[in-house]
Structures are given as structure tokens and as C-alpha cells.
Amino acid sequence: MFLFFNNLLTIKCIKTILKIRKIKYVYSFNKYLLLRVLNENTCCRIIQRKFRKYIKLEEECPISHERLKYPFACFKINKKFLYYDFETIIRYFNKTKDFRDPLTRVNIEEKQIENLNKLIRYYYGHRTNKILITEQMIKNTELSIIAYCLNDLANEINSFQELNIDDIYNSFLPRLIYYIHILIKNHDYRYNLVILNAFKHCIKDDIKNRNIICDYILLYV
């Protein structure tokens, strides 16, 4: 049975409890929302305490060898929960850039790293330099940038009724070749195929000399 906080509490009292529990970014809320956050937090704390009694197998961090204290990081590897001191595992990942579980050497899923980054932003603020950046995150960002640049290139080409040969070989093709080179070098073929086909279909059919650019794309796709 959960005992909930109610309207008898003053806003000042509610904010004091929230501060003690280190719940951030809620002080602009009205009384109703503050109570809701406080009661949800209370439920979560009770459920977590009960749950941890059954799943917590280690009492100390395998890296620092210090007793675990809240907050701590948890990874589910091969149906087993592994626990690490929060600050220690963040320092470990930032220093080694090796995003495998330190004990099992199993790759940690990208989703788990994203969840860890949410906790980092919560405890250290949005301007912290402790955010974890994996190689896959860098590749995804680069892929998005290339797609955006190709979209700009397509829009520029579509602004012409007829493509001048000099413009094609001095401006459009060199840029396209550069983007394709990065795609081939750093990214999977299946993603490259989707992006380049989308770029080709974005170019209007009635533009004269568009076939020079499209034929070059066909050499790759």
C-alpha cells in the first residue's frame, strides 16, 4: 500500500521534500504538478527498493571496489544484472572510449548508452562534458549531415531549368563525388543506397543534362 502526499502540504514543504530527494527542474511547476511528481517518485522508490532485493547480486563496484551507493549504473548482460558506481563507470567510458562491459567484454547496446547519457544530463546538467559519445553516434551524425548536404545540392540543381556543363563539372559533380566518397569510406552500403537513390529521385526529370549526374550515381548504386 502506497501512502501518497496530498494537498494539505504547502508548496514550500513540497519543494523542500523535492530538494532533499534531489529532484531537479520542477520548481516552476504548480502545486498539482509538484504533488504528482513527488508521488510518482515515492512509488518508484518503493518499487525499486523491493526490486533490488531480488536482483542485486553485488555489494561493491567491480571497478572501484567501493560499496555501491545510489545512483549507480546497471547493465543487463546475458540475463544478469551488473552494477557499477555511476561516477566510476562514466570516468571509465570517457577515458577508455571502450563501450564494452568491463567484466564480460560484451558490447553495451546503443540504447543503454543513451539512457546513461540521460542520467548524466540529469545529475550533471545539460552543459556537462561527461556525455558519452560512441563511434556509432559519430557515424549516425555524419550520415545525417551528408543526407542534409545532398538535399541542399538537389535543391540547388532543381533551381535550374538547364544545367550548364561547366557548373556540372566544376561545382555539382565535385561535391557529389566528395559526399559519395565519405559514404563509401565510413558507412554501410544499404544506408548509402537509400540516401543516393533518394537524392537521384529528388532531381526534377525535366532539367536538361540531369542525366550526367544521375549516370554518375548509377555507377555506385
As a whole number, mean pLDDT of residues 134-150 equals 91
Q: Is the pLDDT of residue 1 over 50?
A: no
As a whole number, mean pLDDT of residues 46-56 equals 64
CATH fold, domain 56-132, is: Herpes Virus-1 (3.30.40)
- For the stretch 162-209, pLDDT in tens is 888 888 888 889 999 999 999 988 888 888 889 888 888 888 888 888
Residue 51 confidence class, pLDDT cut points 50, 70, 90: low
Q: Is the pLDDT of residue 42 over 70?
A: yes
- For the stretch 7-41, pLDDT in tens is 778 888 888 888 888 888 887 888 888 888 888 88
Domain ranges of the chain: 11-55, 56-132, 135-218
At residue 152, the pLDDT reads 92
At residue 160, the pLDDT reads 86
| Side-chain half-sphere CA neighbours of 185 within 13 A | 8
| Side-chain half-sphere CA neighbours of 107 within 13 A | 6
At residue 30, the pLDDT reads 86
Contacts 24+ apart (CB under 8 A), 185-193: 186/139, 186/142, 187/139, 187/142, 187/143, 191/143, 192/220, 192/221, 193/221
Hey, what amino acid is at 113?
A: I
CA pair distance 198, 77, nearest whole angstrom: 38
At residue 121, the pLDDT reads 92
Residue 221 confidence class, pLDDT cut points 50, 70, 90: low
At residue 93, the pLDDT reads 92
Burial (0-12, 13-18, 19+ Cβ within 10 Å), 196: buried
